[in-house]
Structure 1
């Protein structure tokens, strides 16, 4: 929250998303969501970017280039963000 300026409620949702992604098995992810990627997404959201767009740019695209994996990450984000 300090680095990005994002409010607590939206920061909590990002942390929840990261936890769910880190707990996934069966997806072709080389690594989980790093703290740095979360801060990038939070900074974009705090700056006014739409959540979906920020998640795509800072989390989904960097984690995988596989279309099915990216869609699975989008679906997971949709569950958390409604």
Structure 2
């Protein structure tokens, strides 16, 4: 029996991110997901929306079929 795993190259927030400090955010997603860490990754609200900027994922936790992503916003394309 295998574990379902999704590999992502873009961070899609759907507006569910939570700011923990100045430029540090937490995002929880259903299922087990894998993202590149310690490298700039594009961040969008939806898959089809314009890029909001770039983030660097600092930490990923898998627990009870959820992925928690801790990331730092490193550049912002717009203030909205």
Q: Judging by fraction of residues, say which structure has more helix.
A: 1
Q: State the TM-score, normalized to the length of structure 1.
A: 0.25
Larger CA Rg, structure 1 vs 2: 2
TM-score using structure 2 length: 0.25
1 or 2 for the larger relative contact order (CA 8 Å, sep ≥6)? 1
